Chain A
Amino acid sequence: MKSRNRKLIALGLGTALLAGALSGCSGGSSSSGVTTINWWTRVGDDRAAFAKKFNDTHTDVQVKVTQVSDDQYVNKVGTGVRSNNGPDVLDFDVANSPLFAATGVLADVSDKVNGLDFARDLNPGMSKLGTYDNKTYSVPFIAGPSILLYNKTLFKKAGIQTDTPPATWAGIEEDAKKVRALGDDIYGFDIPGACGGCLSFAAQPLIWASGGTTMTAASPDQTTTYSTSPQVADSLKFYQKLWQDGVVNPAGQTEAGATWGADWNAGKVGILLAGSWLVSPAEKGGSEVGYGPIPNADGSNFSTFAGGDNIGVIASSKNPDAAWEFASWLLDKDQQASIADTGSSPVRSDLLTADFAAKYPLVALQLQVSAKSDAPDSMATNALQLSATSPWLAAFQSIVYNGADVNATLTKADADSAPLIKQAYEQAGQ
């Protein structure tokens, strides 16, 4: 009986949500002089709070928020824009910025962004992805950079100092070996090896910190640089070595993303390169967690993945000014500072004061590493690196897990990638 009631309630809620979504689609200006804009956003608890705060403090513009699940985002945006009942403003996985810019989904907001007095404080890696063909199509909104996490509880058990995180590749390897020596199901390191999107957090920062890159700038003439940027081979060899040392959690080889960090949260992994969201679950699991930047081999530099959400105005929006008013309001200091309370990272480096760093040490680290953030910048990133069938993922797996010849494998990955870039730009008519 109870479950039947629940089903009825769920059905009712579903109908109500559907009705809300449908009415949200009509959008546009109303006769009362209030402009209503539709905001599509990725799934996140804090989004509705932003919309409420904006609506409570604005009378001429009101915002309606629709959360769209990640795995359908591009598809939903595509159909929404095509049928002219999509959003006016949307935030999205920053990896899709070049795609939405190059296919004309987003409006050129260069002038508006240049008019912001804090434009130069915005997250550089995410800003780079928002720029296409020297024009700005989207701006950073919420950042989710990757950092080095280490389990202090395991480190102490293994007799390793815990005051500072491992700061070189040799240091990572050495500490991982000591943690691995603790026992059967305790591993020194964990790699999400079947998840291209996770590797952007967990592998590429090693390349960027070393001064390398995986592709040239976004353009129809773009090429991948797996075989020509020697830092790519160096970092893959580093991971290959860790795997051959036997210090890496074997479950990671088939980790496709859904359970990324599960063993880390359970206190069974010593070192992990991931986002800050894996700090508190591990602490709740009873581990003391430390963190630091992701270093290059000798520790002289660091980098991070410019992960997170960019926000932009839809090119076909009937209310672009109201949409930008809302988007830029999200970048105000108050709103940005409130992001820190949720554990995610703001995108403005001018928030980073001594007081702020003392109050939010983890967020402060994210802001610091974001100064050197980078990301794959291509409208074909999904096909090139993120999907299960991407050449980058295939090369990564062959080299790290199967010990394949590094140079030959990377040369093949470049060859396999070229037609994907060509296809993507041809599709978009460029």
Chain B
Amino acid sequence: MFFVAPMVLMFWMSLNNWPLLGAVQKFIGGANYAEAVTDGTFWNSVLFTMKYTLIITPIELFLGYALALIVRRRFRGVAFFRAAYFAPVVVGFASGAYIFLLLIQPESGLFDQILQELGITSAPLPWLTDSNFALFTVVLMITWKTLGTSIILLMVGMQSVPEEIREASLMDGASWFKREWFITLPLMRSSVALVLMLNLTGSFLAFDQFFVMTHGGPNQSTVTIVMWIYTNAFVRYRLGYSAALSILLLVLLVIFTVAQIRALRDRSEES
């Protein structure tokens, strides 16, 4: 009910010229969708969002896996590491972004000061003024902010692998890498799938971090899909068009998620 009703309303809006202000609401059929097809900024935002997703997802998976390995077993101080990894997760996206904004200020920011003290750089880095660097900065922030979730999910997945199986493989003389690759990883496939799926949807819906940190800049090179939807709704006041873009985003997301589930499931059936 609370999902379907707004969806139906949004689909209806997407078929209308529906301004935020004024009463000129008019049925225009698929015109919003036709416009979206030729909307260069929209497709650029789709490409950029996919690029961002393709960068962030492997980082979350591999770095998350590596760090999960460290905190997998109990040892003295494990609670500290687990807490330290997870702490940034409870910071909001916007708050985290603002924290990073302060850290990367060219004159007063901590990052440049440390890098310059260590002699690694001699001048402030173009954190947000170069388009690739801006993406890197956001990826850095998001990794810091969300890696904890991936670590916890992967760690739980690792712990669910029965110790006997691992011990058996150890007896059989399997190396550490082989045990991870052929035993642990396949048995925690569902955890990996969950991490991949959460990262895919999370990055596809990215907004706060870019809205606060890059504002889509420099030169509109970091405009995500949701940011473009926001711009059309609340800057250009075109609710109908932004509804159409939202529907397209939903379709894209469903396609990619289903493809991802299929890919992971197929392989598990083969093995």
Binding site for B on A (CB under 8 A): 74-75, 77-78, 81-82, 99-100, 102-105, 185, 194, 249-251, 253-254, 256, 258, 263, 268, 380, 382-383, 386-390, 394, 397-398, 401-402, 420, 423-424, 426-429
Contacts and interface: CB of A to CB of B under 8 A. Distances in A.
Contacts of B105: 251
Given A99-B21, A389-B223, 19 more contacts: A78-B20, A78-B237, A81-B21, A100-B21, A102-B22, A104-B22, A104-B23, A250-B106, A251-B105, A258-B98, A380-B236, A383-B231, A388-B217, A389-B216, A389-B228, A389-B235, A394-B219, A394-B220, A427-B238
Interface string B180-221: 000000000000000000000000000000000001111110
A253 B98 CA distance: 16
Nearest to B235: A387
Contact of B217 (A81, A102, A194, A426): A194
B234 A429 contact: no
Contacts of A394: 219-220
Contacts of B218: 397, 401
Interface of B: 17, 19-24, 41, 98, 105-107, 124, 127-129, 215-220, 223, 227-228, 231, 234-238
B241 to A, nearest CB: 9
Contacts of B17: 426-427
Nearest to A75: B234
Contacts of A258: 98
A59 B124 CA distance: 62
A424 B17 CA distance: 11
The interface residues of chain B, by DSSP majority, are classed as loop
Contacts of B127: 254
A105 B129 CA distance: 39
Contacts of B107: 185, 249-251, 263, 268
Contacts of A253: 128-129
9 contacts: A77-B21, A78-B20, A78-B21, A104-B21, A104-B22, A380-B236, A387-B231, A394-B219, A397-B219
A385 to B, nearest CB: 11
A263 B152 CA distance: 41
B19 to A, nearest CB: 4
A19 B137 CA distance: 43
Given A74-B20, A78-B20, A427-B19, A251 B235 contact: no
A428 B235 contact: no
Max chain A CB contacts within 10 Å: which of B17, B22, B98, B236? B22
B62 to A, nearest CB: 30
Contacts of B128: 253-254
A424 to B, nearest CB: 7
B35 to A, nearest CB: 10
Given A104-B23, A388-B215, A429-B24, A250 B236 contact: no
Given A75-B234, A420-B236, A256 B215 contact: yes
A74 B21 contact: yes
A428 B22 contact: yes
B22 A103 contact: yes
A254 B20 CA distance: 30
B225 to A, nearest CB: 13
A78 B238 CA distance: 12
A99 to B, nearest CB: 7
Contacts of B20: 74-75, 78
A191 to B, nearest CB: 13
Given A194-B217, A383-B236, A427-B238, A401 B22 contact: no
Contacts of B235: 382-383, 386-387, 389-390
A423 B238 contact: yes
Contacts of A383: 231, 235-236
Contacts of A250: 106-107, 124
